Structure 1
Amino acid sequence: MTPGAPVVFCGYANLDVVGRVPRFPAPDERVHATAIDQLPGGMGANAAVACARAGATTAFAGVVGTDPASDLFLAQLAFEGVDAGWTDRTGYLSTAIVLVDGAGRRSVVSQDDALDAEHVARTADRLAGLGGGLLYLDGYRAAQLPAAARPGVVLTVDLDGCENPDVARAALAAADHAVVGRTRLTELLGLTPADRGPRTTLVVTDGPAGWQLAGPDGIASGAALSVEVVDDTGAGDCFVGTHLAGLAAGLGPVEAATRAGVAASLSCTQEGARAAPSPARVTEALHQLATA
Structure 2
Amino acid sequence: MVKLPGDIKRFTKRRRNMSKKVVVLGSINVDTTYHVERFPQPGETIAARSKSSAPGGKGANQAVAAARSGAQTAFIGAVGSDSEGDYMLEALKENAIDVRHVAIDQYHGTGSAAVTLDANGQNDIMIYGGANQALTTDVLAGAEDVLDGADFLISQFETPQAVTLAAFKLAKKHGVTTILNPAPAHDIIPELLQYTDVIAPNESECALLTGIEIADEESMLKSAEYFRSQGVSHLLVTLGSKGVFYATPAGHGLVPAFKVKAVDTTAAGDTFIGALSSQLNDDLSNVAEALVYAQRASSLTVQQMGAMPSIPTADQVQAALVE
TM-score by length of 1: 0.88
Counterpart among 107, 110, 131 of residue 114 in structure 1: 131
Contact 1:157 1:171 in 2 (8 A): no
- 1:139 and 2:160 correspond: no
The question of whether the paired residues in 1 share the 8 Å contact of 2:73 and 2:97 is answered with yes
Aligned equivalents of 2:114, 2:38: Cα separation in 1: 15
Q: State the alpha-carbon separation in 1 of the partners of residues 53 and 303 from structure 2.
A: 19
In the alignment, what sits opposite 1:155? 178
Displacement after TM superposition at 1:190 (Å): 2.2
For residues 51 and 23 of structure 1, do their structure 2 counterparts lie closer, same or farther at Cα, with a shift above 3 Å needed? same
Instruction: Give the conservation status (yes or no) of the 8 Å contact 1:233–1:268.
Output: yes
Corresponding residue SS for 1:15: strand
For residues 220 and 145 of structure 1, the distance between their equivalents in structure 2, rounded to whole angstroms, comes to: 29
Unpaired stretches in structure 2, ≥5 consecutive residues: 1-17, 213-222
The 2-side partners of 1:188 and 1:231 are apart by: 27
Task: Report what 1:96 is aligned to.
Answer: 113
Give 1:25 shift: 0.6
SS in 1 for 2:79: coil
Deviation string 1:237-256 (CA, Å, 9 cap, x unpaired) is 00000001112688722211
3-state DSSP class of the match of 1:281? Answer: helix
- The SS at the match of 2:236 is strand
Aligned length: 283
Q: 1:124 Cα shift?
A: 5.4
Q: 2:90 matched to 1:75?
A: yes
For residues 60-71 of structure 1, what are the structure 2 equivalents within 5 Å?
60-71=75-86
Q: How does 1:11-30 map to 2 (within 5 A)?
A: 11-30=26-45
**Separation of aligned partners in 2, 1:187 and 1:61:** 27
Name the CA distance, whole Å, in 1 between partners of 2:194 and 2:235.
10
Structure 1 residue runs without a partner (length 5+) = none
Task: Kindly provide the CA deviation profile for residues 90-141 of structure 1, in whole angstroms up to 9, marking residues without a partner as x.
Answer: 253111111011100010111123343414643753434x334321111244
The amino acid that maps onto 1:286 is L
Equivalent in 204, 224, 227 of residue 183 of structure 1 = 204
Q: CA deviation at 1:57?
A: 0.3
**AA matched with 2:45:** R
The one-letter amino acid paired with 1:241 is G
Residues 264-288 of structure 1 deviation map (CA, whole Å, 9 limit, x = unaligned) = 1111100011212222332233333
Q: Which residue does the alignment assign to 2:215?
A: none
Name the SS for the 1:224 alignment partner.
coil
Q: Which amino acid aligns with 1:77?
A: L
Deviation at 1:27, TM superposition (A): 1.2
Q: CA RMSD in A?
A: 2.2
Q: Which moved more, 1:251-260 or 1:30-39?
A: 251-260
Would the alpha carbon gap of residues 285 and 216 (structure 1) be closer, same or farther in structure 2, given more than 3 Å must change? same
Residues 265/172 of structure 1: CA separation in 2 closer, same or farther (3 Å cut): farther
Query: Residue 286 of structure 1 corresponds to which residue in structure 2?
Result: 321
Alpha carbons of structure 1 residues 15 and 79: separation in structure 2 relative to 1, 3 Å:
same
Q: Which residue of 1 aligns with 2:74?
A: 59
- Deviations 1:130-174, CA, capped at 9 Å, x for gaps: 33432111124445444332222221111112300x53x543442
- Of the three residues 172, 179, 194, the one matched with 2:225 is 194
Identity across matched positions, percent: 30
Instruction: Please identify, of 112-121 and 275-284, the stretch whose mean Cα deviation from structure 2 is larger.
Output: 112-121
Instruction: Give the aligned partner of residue 252 of structure 1.
Output: 286
**CA separation in 2, counterparts of 1:267 and 1:284?**
14
Q: 8 Å contact 1:14–1:42 — kept in the other structure?
A: yes
Q: Secondary structure at the match of 1:104?
A: coil
TM-score by length of 2: 0.80
**Contact 2:21/2:149 (<8 A) preserved:** no
Q: Assess if the C-alpha contact under 8 Å between 1:263 and 1:282 holds in 2.
A: yes
Q: Which amino acid aligns with 2:224?
A: P
Contact conserved, 2:79 with 2:102, CA < 8 A, in 1? yes
Aligned-residue offset at 1:45: 0.1
Matches within 5 A, 1:202-281: 202-247=235-280, 252-274=286-308, 275-281=310-316
